[in-house]
Structure 1
Amino acid sequence: MEGLKNFFDMLGGWVWGPAMLVLLVGTGVLLTVVLKGLQFSMLGYALKQAFRPHPKKHDGSDHDGDISHFGALMTALSATIGTGNIAGVATAVVLGGPGAVFWMWITAIFGMATKYGEGVLAVKYRVVNKRGEMSGGPMYYIERGLNMKWMALLFALFGTIASFGIGSSVQANSVAMSIQSSFSVDPWITGVILTVLTGIVILGGIKSIARAASIIVPFMAILYVLGGLGIILLHVDLLWPAIERIVSDAFNFSAAAGGMAGAAIRYGVARGVFSNEAGMGSAPIAAAAAKTDHPVRQALVSMTGTFLDTIIVCSITGIVLVMGILSNQSPAGETGAALTTHTFNNMLPGPGGWIVTFGLIFFAYSTILGWCYYGEKCAAYVFGDGFVPFYRLIYVATVMLGTIASLDLVWSAADTFNGLMAIPNLIALLLLYKVIVSETKDFKAKRQSGELP
């Protein structure tokens, strides 16, 4: 087992090396250029689409799809807003310094273009499966757009395997450890409850998952953001110094700083991508299920997910942590969720720590639900729709396993397969960028002519 873990550590180090980070950010930069900064010019319009009812046909009936724009966005956010927003940001700040927060912002800005491109292709190339449900995502636009079935199968296989780690067992372990630390509840008790709650929701498929996500994600995100804003307002004198520190450390290349900017870039980009999943190929699987009148409309909604996840939620964590560093209220020697919890608690005694604890629990649970849908669609692509019930049983079992087992090997393997998913997806985005541009022009033309609202 130790040898297998070492193998995945080595492979993961290669997969998540500088080449991958350049490919991830570079794809976003390319799409930003060819789309003429669409994430800036249309962000306001995109946010309105995310929270409006999905458009109807002229006869009042729904367009093809399984769930609303909002449901698709919440399903995607349920999988992205998770431990990365709490533990991941803290890890980035510890390893890369306050400047890592700045590079998370840069990653998110270009990641919005990437997430948009994924959304366009997901809806354009989606299909209806034998159960009458929408199926889409990288495996379908790789196969139907590029005629590369082998690469589509690779993506789906990587996605299936990754879902059991990053989606179920790792998240379940985070919930169990958090509850044990805060409430002294045995992990197996948490495991039983979490397993039952997960099984009840996922048996209903995407509609059930979207309903649960549409309740959990907004409630918990708003509570977490309000808690963070409360801390910022209570210590508003530290806000500007914190922002100055974030920006100055991001560009501090002096030898005296020990290569601070290099570490900030490395960990800021890596944790930013881990948090918002732009370019990973997971979110477009949810986008493909949306009821929409044009691929671009849902792609714009998908794009807002990166904005909400990183520019809003991750920024709250990052700014509070840097304010804690400046005021000596961030405990030295700690990292991950523990650092965020203690910093929130020190700067907002009483509710601060509880906000992080409950945020971690609910964010992780919603991630379990969202990733089940991703993994299910990937498994169905590889093994056929008849495999879905077996996949769900295995997935639920790994939720229970994650709460009671040591996960060092699972962490290493999940991180590796999560990165492997991105490679075929990014290749497809680069090869199909002209399709993304063409669909964008078509949408704008139809809006100008009044054909689309």
Structure 2
Amino acid sequence: MNPLYNFLQTIDNLVWGPPLLLLLVGTGVYLTVRLGLIQIRYLPLALGYLFKGNKNSKADGDVSSFAALCTALSATIGTGNIVGVATAIKLGGPGALFWMWLAALFGMATKYAECLLAVKYREVDANGQMLGGPMYYIEKGTGQKWLARLFAVFALGVACFGIGTFPQANAIVDAAYLSFEIPREITVVVLTILVAVVTLGGVQSIAKVASKVVPFMALFYILACVIVLGSQYSAVPEAIQLVIQSAFTGHAATGGFVGAGIMLAIQSGIARGVFSNESGLGSAPMAAAAAKTDSCVEQGLISMTGTFFDTIIICTMTGLTLVVTGAWQSDYAGAAMTSYAFASGLDSSFIGPMMVTIGLMFFAFTTILGWNYYGERCITYLFGVKAILPYKIFFLVLIAAGAFMKLDMIWLIADIVNGLMAIPNLIGLILLRDVIVTETREFFQKLTPPPADLQTA
């Protein structure tokens, strides 16, 4: 085995070990308590804001709140919803899905808080576009500029050398070749041109595409899962029972499944859940800052629905499909396991895998768009607007090159930097906790009598 690979694997296990997972979930638990279960009590209000839109057309911002959410979802609804869920259940058994739900529940409070701060502390760049995200609220809210720059460097690393480029380009090229026998070179040229056309137009162009593609691809994938679950509806209650039971008892090995203990179910479920919805990592706030809104709390509420859609709905659909069809006990792993589940559920060795392939290609493409924008915000923070065009050209070169790279090492590096970017963001949220509570309390005082459990700072 490659010594460098072994070294990176050790670092990855350290970064994504219990300390970071406890920090991620612990921050979500703390904010949930301080904000009075805001993600449960005010989810209907948040959904109302999302679909109603901001009535103030003169509000500051570049795109609508819905478009900002779709931009964030374009990066979060990705291969993790298909591959990540399968990996978690393969390692931790059906119980991993329960811990994914729990991480998402608390993650909604974290996503609310970070997107609230993104709007509160945003500013305008030299091109007249909104700038915001962890680097701005850490610097302006806490005064810790070194911590803000650290976040920007890590996030830029994820955009250029991690989740934003190589794995996604490779997934699209492989899917097109294996399912449609399209030569890799042709797919690379078409993909690079499409990414260039969309991303060179800036956030308005990215948001416009995301607003159309994200709802379509999400509904397409959910519909496919519903068809499978509907065909096996009698097994769904038993599958849910197995998920909950396995979360607290572990699961013995059966068939191709490698039996899982409770701790493995917890770790794999939480890690893959966070990896999928990105709550606490600090990526979504960069998109939220572009929203046309005059209320940071309102945008925070809208943004937290992203975690609800990503994990509570889409990851749940994937997880239940894997359990109901028995695919989780097969010898398959990752995307192959999900393809096997759809093939079994739809009783078709062609239609099922084709649905997964199309879903993967859409998910990977929009993830590229979302992370291109995040990288642009980070490069602007670090070097100013003059660096945007060179960054975009470099990003396109990476997309073209990524299709032909071996991904074992790249996935490890991406995983490490992805975890590292969460640390400065979570520290910023903890330092600004009183600001989050104060802004929330003042907002709800104007709507209704303030919730009794929104504690004073």
Q: What TM-score, normalized by structure 2, do the two folds share?
A: 0.94
Deviations 1:43-78 (A, max 9, x none): 00101111223221xxxx420000001000000000
Deviations 1:264-294 (A, max 9, x none): 1010000000000000000000000001111
2:164 to 148, 167, 171: 167
Partner of 1:200: 197
Corresponding residue SS for 1:181? helix
Figure out how many residues of one structure are paired with residues of the other and give that number: 442
Matched letter for residue 31 of structure 1 = L
Offset, 1:262? 1.3
- Whether contact under 8 Å (2:53, 2:65) holds in the other structure is yes
Distance 1:272 1:188 in 2: 33
**Structure 1 stretch displaced more, 12-21 or 26-35:** 12-21
1:336 to 323, 334, 337: 334
Deviations 1:189-236 (A, max 9, x none): 211111110000000110000001011110010011011011111110
Structure 1's unaligned 5+ residue stretches are: none
Deviations 1:141-172 (A, max 9, x none): 00000000001000000011111221111111
Distance 2:136 2:157 in 1: 18
Partner of 1:35: 35
Residue 48 (structure 2) pairs with residue 48 (structure 1):
yes
Residue 156 (structure 2) pairs with residue 155 (structure 1):
no
Offset, 1:352? 2.4
Offset, 1:421? 0.3
Cα distance change on mapping 1:330 and 1:9 into 2, 3 Å: closer
Matched letter for residue 5 of structure 2 = K
- Whether contact under 8 Å (2:93, 2:260) holds in the other structure is no
Offset, 1:258? 6.1
Equivalent positions of 1:110-259 (< 5 A) are 110-164=106-160, 165-252=162-249
Offset, 1:259? 5.5
Corresponding residue SS for 2:52? coil
Distance 1:308 1:95 in 2: 24
Matched letter for residue 359 of structure 1 = G
Partner of 2:317: 316
Offset, 1:422? 0.1
Equivalent positions of 1:347-366 (< 5 A) are 347-348=345-346, 349=348, 350-366=350-366
Offset, 1:447? 2.3
Cα distance change on mapping 1:158 and 1:228 into 2, 3 Å: same
Offset, 1:448? 3.5
Distance 1:211 1:409 in 2: 34
Partner of 1:371: 371
- Whether contact under 8 Å (1:331, 1:339) holds in the other structure is no
Partner of 1:397: 397
Partner of 1:304: 305
Distance 2:16 2:205 in 1: 34
Corresponding residue SS for 1:167? coil
Distance 1:302 1:44 in 2: 13
Offset, 1:408? 2.0
Sequence identity percentage? 51
Cα distance change on mapping 1:254 and 1:4 into 2, 3 Å: closer
Equivalent positions of 1:87-126 (< 5 A) are 87-126=83-122
Structure 2's unaligned 5+ residue stretches are: 450-457
Q: What TM-score, normalized by structure 1, do the two folds share?
A: 0.95
Cα distance change on mapping 1:248 and 1:134 into 2, 3 Å: same
Distance 2:376 2:343 in 1: 38
